[in-house]
Amino acid sequence: MRRLLSSAGAIAAFLASAGAYAAQPTPWQTRFQPAATDIMAQTEWFEKYTLWFIIPITLLVLFLLAWCILKYRASVNSTPSRISHNTLIEVIWTVGPVVVLLFLAVPSFQLLTAQYTPGEEAKLTVKATGNQWNWDYEYQVEEPLSFNSAMMPDADRAAAGKEDRAIYPRLLAVDNEMVVPVNTMVRVLVTAADVIHAFAMPAFGIKTDAVPGRINEIWFRANKEGLYYGQCSELCGKDHAFMPIAIRVVNDAQYTTWLAAAKTDLDGANKALMAAVDGGGSVTVAGN
């Protein structure tokens, strides 16, 4: 009970925090994080769509099991039937699953095609390289920008201005976020420098392995400004749990200003961007 009350209190504090909300894991979470891309919105729709098949089929199977157990138990059915075939039943349990699978396959293939077919050419390309246990980001622009992103140590929070745990949560906040403009097609080239990692951002509906010596390509078009969190999703060593991913989505003007300043002073550019986004203490952190 104490743990339940503690979790409830954490949720209440989170929801009440200075107008902030986050696409991040929350206590007792059973659903997806709020969608920030069209692909993730389609994924959420498909998940709800499949439940219209899964739940009735599950209930039907449970009912049939209970019916058979009760009706045909030895105490009430001492002389069991010797019938071994029934044409109607054979047709139903053959055609029924085929029809259900067709209703699932068509939207599934459509979603898969959409995930691998961007609606437009990417306007920004970022190379993400997984290391044990942090990420290197390289912006492939006219004057390339490269920096490392690692989990924010608690001792460095005050100096970085990231003490608000609702906005910069434990084990998810990083020292340098990837910054991208809103409503812009972004291509991410994912690889690794040592072992296999995985680049995953739940709110964007993207996840791909980071494999040494190979480049995998994913893309996203975030339609909401905010700060989004993900994690490495491939067991990669003892600090696998401490390898977060943070992407800050901002408007075009803020992104342009940040990019120009980050090439000479990344820390100063990040603080200036935080000040511009926070607007004096309130920040929109992903998802609503």
Which residues are paired to 126 by β-bridges? 139, 188
> Structure tokens of 222?
């975030």
In this structure, are residues 177 and 270 in contact, taking their beta carbons and an 8 Å threshold? yes
Sign of CA dihedral 156, 160, 161, 163: negative
Closest CA to 244 of 146, 148, 163: 148
Residue listed under structure tokens 């039937």: 81
Q: Rounded to two decimals, what is the model's pTM?
A: 0.80
What's the CA angle centered on 238, arms 232 and 243, to 5 degrees? 25
pLDDT in tens, 134-163: 999 999 988 889 999 999 999 999 988 898
pLDDT tens figures, 214-260 = 999 999 999 999 999 999 999 999 999 999 999 999 999 999 999 99
CATH topology of domain 124-278: Immunoglobulin-like (2.60.40)
> What CA–CA distance (Å, rounded) separates 84 from 61?
20
Q: Please report, rounded to a whole number, the percentage of residues in the chain having pLDDT higher than 90.
A: 65
The token pair at 62 is: 């449970």
Q: What is the mean pLDDT of residues 181-198?
A: 95
